[in-house]
Structure 1
Amino acid sequence: MTTRIPTSALLDGLLRDADAERVTLRWLVDRLGDRSFGLVMLLLALLGAMPGASAIVAPLLAILAVQMMLGHAGPAFPRRVAERSVRTEGLARTLGRAVPVLRAIEGFFHPRWPMPFEAAKRVVGPVVLLLGLLLLAPIPLSNVPPALAIALLAIAYLEEDGILLCIALAASALLLAIAAGAVWQAMGELGWVRGFF
């Protein structure tokens, strides 16, 4: 059994073989390997919690979720997006801030009740798709709970923490049930529900 490299260590060593000037999104996804889904999902979740970003983040999460359900090895972006590059220096600064935070997170969450990445993708994908739809609710701050649930799923996926994954899935199910109840109540008040009985 091979020893699993922590995500923080993987990111810490990410730029060792990078081009001195710029790196592309395709290069980053290839280097992150089986953890690319988790990191992209975490990034999108954090963006989705910001005001006004939901309309952009939700479709990207939907694309990511469908690719996870289809069992893709990593996120696939259109060529024009994949070949976009960022300055290596700027990425290094960002990673310099992110790695200590991830290292602290890894102190609490670590591989427990391990689930193979392939199986985890198929479970997490549909949930992320539904939570992404909740980001579009036209209610102030309604984007924050689903964004946090997606972030929890991403961390559980990255750290291969089955216990955290169960907690994140339970929280996601609760959010989806509350949303379904709110929609049902709204339909009832509009008189649409009576047509079903």
Structure 2
Amino acid sequence: MTLTETSTGRPRAFSDVVEMLGARDGSRLTLGEIVEAFGDRAFGPVMFFFALINMLPWPPGGTTLTGAPLVLLSMELALGRDTLWIPGWAGRASVNRQTFRKLSRRLLKPLHFTERLARPRLYILTGGLGQGLIGLACLFLSVVLVLPIWGGNLLPAVAIGFFSLGVMQRDGLAVLIGWLLTGATVAVLFLAWALIVAAVEHGLRWFGHLF
């Protein structure tokens, strides 16, 4: 029996599993322990877990490490795997459990609110093809997270969070919101690139006038 089930076999809420992981003994919480806790259907919960971590205000480059597991998870989801697999070295990656407890307490209130809203609907968006497309979108978003862009973690992390919630609860509306946020992420990236190119061109012209 995994942490996602009660003694009677009924599923636990995601927020309850997060609290139980923090309450366990041991100074370190490993990725392998998280995957094991969520069991065979771990894609949605584990991706949602890392999406929440990446929504936190990290310093520039911080999401390079916290976003890396999402690259692997997204690739597996895009390839249509039924169960989540992680290599041994990744399973040994860990965080301080006390730090995890502090961070999870900050997230429990929005988690409870989200769980009350989510429910199965619009199944076509969470079926086999839908999950494959979600995996591709999350792969793109997780690569954006890994890039050391200041302030660039929030929008893709929230998008992955909605995609993960959709997979976890079979909620097509959450997936639809994830797609809208993915489009917004693409638009922001194009705008940022255009501004960078314009700034470089302006700088080159300015230097040209000087010399």
Task: Give the whole-Å Cα distance in 2 for the aligned partners of 1:171 and 1:92.
Answer: 29
Q: Which moved more, 1:113-122 or 1:70-79?
A: 113-122
Aligned residues: 186
Which residues of 2 match residues 8-157 of structure 1 at below 5 A? 8=14, 11=17, 26=32, 28-30=34-36, 32-33=38-39, 35-49=41-55, 50-52=58-60, 53-82=62-91, 102-115=111-124, 116=126, 118-157=128-167
Superposed CA RMSD in Å reads: 4.0
What TM-score do the two structures reach when normalised by structure 2? 0.65
Task: Give the whole-Å Cα distance in 2 for the aligned partners of 1:31 and 1:127.
Answer: 26
- Deviations for 1:6-56, whole angstroms, at most 9, x for unmatched residues? 6449849x89xx99xx99755653553454111221222222233352111
Answer yes or no: is the 8 Å Cα contact 2:159–2:177 preserved in 1: no
Task: Give the whole-Å Cα distance in 2 for the aligned partners of 1:103 and 1:26.
Answer: 25
Q: Which moved more, 1:168-177 or 1:50-59?
A: 50-59
User: For the structure 1 residues 11 and 173, does the alpha-carbon distance in structure 2 shift closer, same or farther, using more than 3 Å as the test?
Assistant: same
Answer yes or no: is the 8 Å Cα contact 1:6–1:159 preserved in 2: no
User: For the structure 1 residues 188 and 28, does the alpha-carbon distance in structure 2 shift closer, same or farther, using more than 3 Å as the test?
Assistant: closer
| Number of the residue aligned with 1:195 | none
Cα offset for 1:59? 2.5
* Residue type at the aligned position of 1:123: L
Cα offset for 1:183? 2.1
* Residue type at the aligned position of 1:51: P
Answer yes or no: is the 8 Å Cα contact 1:7–1:158 preserved in 2: no
Answer yes or no: is the 8 Å Cα contact 1:61–1:129 preserved in 2: yes
User: For the structure 1 residues 8 and 44, does the alpha-carbon distance in structure 2 shift closer, same or farther, using more than 3 Å as the test?
Assistant: closer
- Deviations for 1:55-100, whole angstroms, at most 9, x for unmatched residues? 11232221111111111223321124436799x9x99999899777
Cα offset for 1:118? 3.4
* Residue type at the aligned position of 2:38: L
Unmatched tracts of structure 1, length 5 or more = 192-197
What TM-score do the two structures reach when normalised by structure 1? 0.68
Cα offset for 1:150? 1.4
Instruction: Name the SS of the counterpart of 1:135 in structure 2.
Output: helix
Which residues of 2 match residues 152-191 of structure 1 at below 5 A? 152-187=162-197, 190=200
Task: Give the whole-Å Cα distance in 1 for the aligned partners of 2:34 and 2:157.
Answer: 23
